[in-house]
Amino acid sequence: MTARAKELAYIFLFHGANPRWDDDQIIFTKSSLELLPADLADDTTKEPRVEAQDSVPPGREIDEKSNDQASPVVAKPEPGGNKQRDPIAVFKQRERSPFFKFEGSYQIDRLTFLEPKSPGFARMLEHKWTKQDPRGRIKPVQRSGLRREESVSYRWAVITLKKDEVAEKEAGAPKVEKNPDVVPAELKTAKKSVNDGRCRRR
């Protein structure tokens, strides 16, 4: 396995799972943390500044999904965050085929790891587990006690992305072949235990 085999290459954004994406290009995730570049992470000895607002923005509903797994703990951040990195292709789920549309090529602008039970961790989950109804009232997303307990036991990451205009202009959208084994209906009804952007390695 080459060094690139463990680099972050793709991110898939599911419906309602990323309330800060459209406005701020921010995602919350607990999956595949081993693919994130630890050298870009904020100083974990300081209180992490969670990139989250005090209340959920209007019109942002969060859906539950399933089959998310715990991720290995990422190594301690090291110097060298300014080195050139390959772009990350971001795809966003939509209602019709193709069910994931290319959003663009991005680079990680900021990365914060949140430990369970930390203040920043609690604020992040507040955004994940609340929604706003048509009347503007904030309501918690219904979750089973087991799912909630599992979610709060994992380390999470807050990732802020920025557009890589050069890479997007030079390479354009990745050429992705359709998988005949994927049933479209499954993409519409699939559930994950926790809402997050799904990261994929190269």
DSSP string, 37-64: -GGGB--TTS-------SSPPTT-----
Q: What is the pTM of this model?
A: 0.63
pLDDT, position 64: 34
Half-sphere exposure of 39 (CA within 13 A, CB side): 9
How confident is the prediction along the chain (202 residues), in pLDDT tens digits per residue? 223 467 899 999 998 788 788 889 999 898 899 999 989 898 654 444 444 444 334 333 333 343 343 333 333 444 444 567 899 999 999 888 778 899 999 999 999 999 988 878 888 877 776 666 667 676 666 655 556 666 777 899 999 999 999 998 888 888 777 666 655 544 444 444 344 555 665 5
Other beta carbons within 10 Å of 166: 11
Nearest residue to 124 (alpha-carbon basis) of 23, 24, 27: 27
C-alpha to C-alpha distance for 40 and 110, rounded to whole angstroms? 7
Cis peptide before 19 (omega within 30 of 0): no
